[in-house]
């Protein structure tokens, strides 16, 4: 599968794990895909469910996708905008990036967010305590070369087509509001912030959130996959232990290259927690008729029997 990269990127984006997560998801034909921590939306966008509710507490992400859905942002509009802004950036350099950043923090224009997201350092989205976008310039004045703008316009086109073809909604709500609305035939994919990593205005995540998420997932009638981390060279994730009692946990190695913090320097064993029986890796292989050597390294650790079917 060629993973479709979404137009907005964010910390903890699951581009490299999207296929793995998709392979293990299990959405009924009549069910709705719930993604309470959509971030970039890369997982759901690649699953392409017929009905989906994408939610995030960050209103800028949600506004961006609603603007696409409403036809206010199209591939053509993005191309024209980025070509124009890119030209100014090339001439004026760094100072123009900060001008756009100030403009975005005043007006919250979704196109400015896209520009900042692609011109900032490391292509992330980070907001300070006042809720202002605060990522510094990525030091590439020629960032918006023709080919790069075309690539982003194509990413927009993909979402435009999907939102016109499928019943997808984008809402700005807390996970505590959205998870209880999922029914038995629905599927929930959860990718909350990891405690202590990428902390910003929209990503403050603590023990209380972790516990409330656990309680909601433990009682939902829907099937779910929760993305989390299992361990790195130094420690194991204490939050995963409680899931091990009654859910299935699968792990896969993931390398983080950016940043200097402990968790970013080292290989991290990423985990997914499931409340149902996933297909075995061999079954997935058979289904997709892919040669084993084409698959990335993965490791399956089944801690306990799944609680449902």
Ligand X SMILES: C[S@@+](CC[C@H](N)C(=O)[O-])C[C@H]1O[C@@H](n2cnc3c(N)ncnc32)[C@H](O)[C@@H]1O
Give the residue with the Cβ less far from ligand X, 75 or 178: 178
3-state secondary structure 57-112: CCHHHHHHHHHHHCCCCCHHHHHHHHHHHHHHHHHHCHHHHHHHHHHHHHHCCHHH
Give the residue with the Cβ less far from ligand X, 89 or 216: 216
Give the residue with the Cβ less far from ligand X, 89 or 228: 228
CB of 299 to ligand X, least distance (A): 21
CB of 302 to ligand X, least distance (A): 23
CB of 229 to ligand X, least distance (A): 11
What are the backbone angles phi and psi of residue 193, rounded to the nearest 5°?
-60, 150
Give the residue with the Cβ less far from ligand X, 40 or 248: 40
Pairing between β-strand 248-255 and β-strand 187-190 as defined by DSSP bridges: unpaired
Give the residue with the Cβ less far from ligand X, 82 or 216: 216
Q: Where are the beta strands (DSSP E) in the chain?
A: 33-35, 51-55, 167-171, 187-190, 223-231, 248-255, 267-274
Give the residue with the Cβ less far from ligand X, 42 or 135: 42
User: Residue 88 corresponds to which tokens in the numbers above?
Assistant: 């100014």
User: Residue 75 corresponds to which tokens in the numbers above?
Assistant: 């591939």
Q: How far is CA 127 from the centre of its chain?
A: 17
CB of 88 to ligand X, least distance (A): 29
236 by DSSP, 3-state: which? strand
Binding site for ligand X (CB under 6 A): 10, 12-14, 36-37, 39-40, 42-43, 56-58, 174-175, 191-193, 202-203
- List alpha helices for 166-231, DSSP H: 175-178, 207-219
CB of 99 to ligand X, least distance (A): 25
CA nearest neighbour of 138 among 187, 76, 94, 179: 94
> Do 103 and 148 touch, CB atoms closer than 8 A?
no
CB of 309 to ligand X, least distance (A): 26
């Amino acid at each position: 599968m060629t993973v479709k990269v979404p137009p907005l990127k964010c910390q903890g984006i699951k581009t490299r794990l999207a296929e793995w997560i998709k392979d293990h998801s299990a959405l009924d034909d009549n069910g709705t895909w719930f993604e309470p921590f959509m971030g970039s939306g890369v997982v759901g966008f690649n699953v392409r469910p017929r009905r989906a509710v994408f939610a995030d507490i960050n209103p800028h992400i949600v506004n961006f996708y609603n603007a696409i859905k409403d036809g206010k942002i199209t591939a053509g509009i993005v191309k024209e905008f980025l070509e124009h802004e890119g030209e100014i950036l090339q001439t004026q350099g760094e100072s123009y990036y900060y001008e756009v950043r100030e403009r975005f923090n005043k007006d919250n224009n979704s196109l400015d967010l896209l520009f900042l997201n692609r011109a900032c350092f490391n292509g992330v989205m980070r907001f300070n305590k006042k809720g202002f976008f605060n990522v510094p310039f990525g030091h590439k004045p020629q960032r918006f070369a023709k080919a790069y703008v075309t690539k982003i316009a194509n990413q927009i086109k993909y979402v435009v087509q999907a939102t016109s073809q499928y019943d997808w909604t984008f809402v700005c709500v807390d996970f505590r509001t959205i998870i209880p609305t999922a029914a038995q035939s629905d599927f929930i994919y959860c990718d909350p912030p990891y405690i202590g990593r990428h902390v910003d205005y929209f990503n403050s995540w603590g023990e209380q959130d972790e516990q409330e998420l656990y309680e909601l997932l433990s009682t939902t009638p829907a099937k779910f996959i929760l993305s989390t981390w299992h361990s790195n060279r130094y420690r194991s994730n204490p939050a995963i232990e409680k899931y091990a009692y009654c859910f299935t946990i699968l792990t896969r190695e993931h390398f983080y290259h950016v940043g200097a913090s402990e968790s970013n320097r080292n290989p991290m064993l990423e985990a997914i927690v499931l409340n149902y029986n996933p297909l075995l890796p061999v079954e997935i292989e058979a289904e997709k008729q892919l040669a084993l050597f084409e698959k990335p390294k993965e490791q399956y650790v089944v801690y306990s029997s799944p609680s449902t079917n």
